[in-house]
């Protein structure tokens, strides 16, 4: 079994999947950070326009103490713009890096992990490496090693990408803070911290990673293609033509939003509110179905055709 694990790790390094995946994960975080920095500029313009209409600092501070929504239903534009800027700073704060990466992850990683899971099996199947390794290592040793290494490598890469982003986020935060430097805006880094039950959120996020890795692995192995599972998950995850109350996406976001308060910096996937019990049943079924397909197909299909 040890040799199977070593062989599987070598395949991940030799095929370049580790470097490519790490680059994609970091790129996703940096992309949304760049959008945040860009939006800061627009929000600053709106805030500056609002305060330029007011004659004195005393009046500005007084308005900032007023309610966001007045009794007549009108919006306190000055306070609204200030809150928008501080919300973006909160999302980009180094103290909030883990929550930010998780929020980005729930939006993008289902498709990324599906591709990764499919590639883990399809590439070796198409090149004939699978046939050689199965004959040498045994069918089930190879299967267990592939499943275990796939999950551990994926979680490890996401953890590494988050750590690297956490280190670099100070740079991004300083850029955003420079754009947002006005005396009415609180730009102190210490006031922006993680919110919600981070430990449970991370464990749940890891479970979601496993779910989509297995979806990619099972459908990819079933159809001998990484395109089909990626297209299916991408379509269901990003295109809500039919808003399914008990669909996997809605169930996952229901649990995630109860575990932590996201900033709304990345599109939210909830279409309706369902109970934790209902969401848990949907998530378990979503995990078990690809596992059953993977086991059944692996057991029945010949590796020598």
- Asked whether the predicted pLDDT for residue 62 surpasses 90, the reply is no
Structural domain boundaries enclosing 134: 2-300
**Sequence-ordered strand ranges (E) for 194-300:** none
Q: Is residue 199 part of a domain?
A: yes
State the pLDDT at residue 132. 84
- C-alpha 169/C-alpha 221 separation (Å) is 38
State the pLDDT at residue 106. 92
Q: Which two tokens stand for residue 145?
A: 């090693």
Tell me the average pLDDT across 138-164.
Answer: 90
- Asked whether the predicted pLDDT for residue 192 surpasses 70, the reply is no
- 233-251 per-position pLDDT tens digit: 988 888 766 667 888 999 9
Q: Is 200 left (phi over 0), alpha (psi -120 to 50) or beta?
A: alpha
The pTM (predicted TM-score) of the whole model is 0.85
Q: Is residue 279 part of a domain?
A: yes
State the pLDDT at residue 255. 92
State the pLDDT at residue 118. 92
State the pLDDT at residue 264. 67
DSSP 269: -
Q: Is residue 73 part of a domain?
A: yes
Beta-bridged to residue 241, according to DSSP, are: none
Q: Is residue 176 part of a domain?
A: yes
State the total domains in the chain.
Answer: 1
Q: Is residue 305 part of a domain?
A: no
| Mean residue pLDDT across the chain | 84
Tell me the average pLDDT across 83-105.
Answer: 85
Contact between 209 and 113 (Cβ < 8 Å):
yes
């Amino acid at each position: 079994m040890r040799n199977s694990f070593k062989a599987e790790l070598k395949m991940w390094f030799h095929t370049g999947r580790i470097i490519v995946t790490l680059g994609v994960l970091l790129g996703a975080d940096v992309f949304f950070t760049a959008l945040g920095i860009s939006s800061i500029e627009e929000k600053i313009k709106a805030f500056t326009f609002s305060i330029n209409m007011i004659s004195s600092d005393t009046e500005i501070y007084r308005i900032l103490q007023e309610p966001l929504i007045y009794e007549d239903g009108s919006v306190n534009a000055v306070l609204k713009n200030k809150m928008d800027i501080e919300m973006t700073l909160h999302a980009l704060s180094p103290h909030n890096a883990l929550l930010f990466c998780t929020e980005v992850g729930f939006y993008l990683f289902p498709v990324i992990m599906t591709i990764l899971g499919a590639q883990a099996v399809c590439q070796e199947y198409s090149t004939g490496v699978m046939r050689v390794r199965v004959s040498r290592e045994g069918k089930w040793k190879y299967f267990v090693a592939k499943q275990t290494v796939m999950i551990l490598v994926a979680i490890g890469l996401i953890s590494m990408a988050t750590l690297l982003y956490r280190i670099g986020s100070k740079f991004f935060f300083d850029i955003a803070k420079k754009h947002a430097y006005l005396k009415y805006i609180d730009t102190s880094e210490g006031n922006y911290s993680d919110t919600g039950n981070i430990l449970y959120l991370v464990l749940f996020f890891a479970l979601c990673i496993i779910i989509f890795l297995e979806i990619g692995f099972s459908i990819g192995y079933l159809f001998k293609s990484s395109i089909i599972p990626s297209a299916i998950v991408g379509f269901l995850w990003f295109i809500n033509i039919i808003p399914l109350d008990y669909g996997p996406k809605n169930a996952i976001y229901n649990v995630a939003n109860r575990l932590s308060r996201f900033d709304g910096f990345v599109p939210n996937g909830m279409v309706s509110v369902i109970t934790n019990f209902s969401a848990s049943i949907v998530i378990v079924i979503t995990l078990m179905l690809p596992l059953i397909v993977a086991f059944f197909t692996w057991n029945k299909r010949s590796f020598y055709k």
